[in-house]
Chains A and B, each alone.
Chain A
């Protein structure tokens, strides 16, 4: 005797979702693998330039940051001031409105030009791998603590309007 089975959505839905996820993961990881370990991509004026901050001397970075659980954590690592990294790459922090810092997982945070110019505020830590981590001292939370930084997108400040003679 054959018992008629009621058709359900679940198997087809799960199969479709798994296939779509696998396809998206393949595309995403293929794009991500284009980044060179130990190098940052600078994206400005429609051009992309690979740049290694390792050409700069590392400095000790010390301070306190607040993590996602509102706990204060002491940072004692090595890295560079983000302003110095940008300067070495040919971008004067004085002429920047902001910089968007992008992680390998797509997470991003923006740092304003004012914060870049502030002494002891924004740093790029050098981690094992090598990889880079953005930290912003003085933030009330860890939203701008970006791990595995791969790309910097500086935005130039709009030039001051020249008053008419």
Chain B
């Protein structure tokens, strides 16, 4: 298996951080909407997973999403920002990443176009994150659970559209060949 380049690793690390930061940035607005709907969340996670889908689409290796989710959970644990999930946050972060990996892999295999792949992976990843959070923290049942998962899935799917745009913009930059290294002024 081909090893990841330094450029790809740096891009994955950047997307990990952007995912974590964006969740914090969008939290006040997301909480206002989920408060109105009387559900405990679902929007912030869908938005933060946008960066995971972008990274997994641009670095198409199976396991990238799961690894990024795990790294995010470690960052969250080390900075004490795990919220109500506590020590189980690695599960809550890694499961959506793994689902994104799977959906993108199947999407490529079945020849789905990029936009469909990103929308589907965002939707499935967000729904998986909501289900994991429900299992670990919320323990919702019935209609509140259905609404919570649907809100998460819809947010994830909608975030697939900007993800597609970002992939189009970043793709040429990430795939560009690096300048040849000069040694003693000789190429």
Interface set of A (CB-CB < 8 Å, partner B): 6, 8-10, 13-14, 17-18, 20-21, 24-25, 27-29, 31-32, 68-70, 104-108, 141-143, 148
**Given A21-B150, A105-B39, A106-B39, A31 and B84 contact (CB-CB distance below 8 Å):** no
Q: Is the CB of B38 within 8 A of A104?
A: yes
Give chain A residues whose Cβ lies under 8 Å from the Cβ of B113.
6, 8
Q: How large, as a class, is the contact surface on chain B?
A: 35 or more
Give chain B residues whose Cβ lies under 8 Å from the Cβ of A68.
83-84
Q: Is the CB of A9 within 8 A of B157?
A: no
Interface centre among A10, A31, A69 (most CB of B within 10 A): A10
* CB-based nearest A residue for B113: A8
Interface set of B (CB-CB < 8 Å, partner A): 34-35, 37-40, 80-81, 83-84, 86, 112-113, 115-116, 119-120, 123, 137-141, 143-148, 150-151, 153-154, 157-158, 160-161
Q: Is the CB of A105 within 8 A of B150?
A: no
* CB-based nearest B residue for A109: B139
Chain A min CB distance to B172 (Å): 22
**Given A8-B113, A106-B140, A25 and B86 contact (CB-CB distance below 8 Å):** no
Give chain B residues whose Cβ lies under 8 Å from the Cβ of A20.
150
Give chain A residues whose Cβ lies under 8 Å from the Cβ of B34.
105
Give chain B residues whose Cβ lies under 8 Å from the Cβ of A143.
84, 86, 137
Give chain A residues whose Cβ lies under 8 Å from the Cβ of B116.
8-10
Give chain B residues whose Cβ lies under 8 Å from the Cβ of A32.
38
Contact of B147 among A18, A24, A69 (CB under 8 A): A24
* CB-based nearest A residue for B153: A17
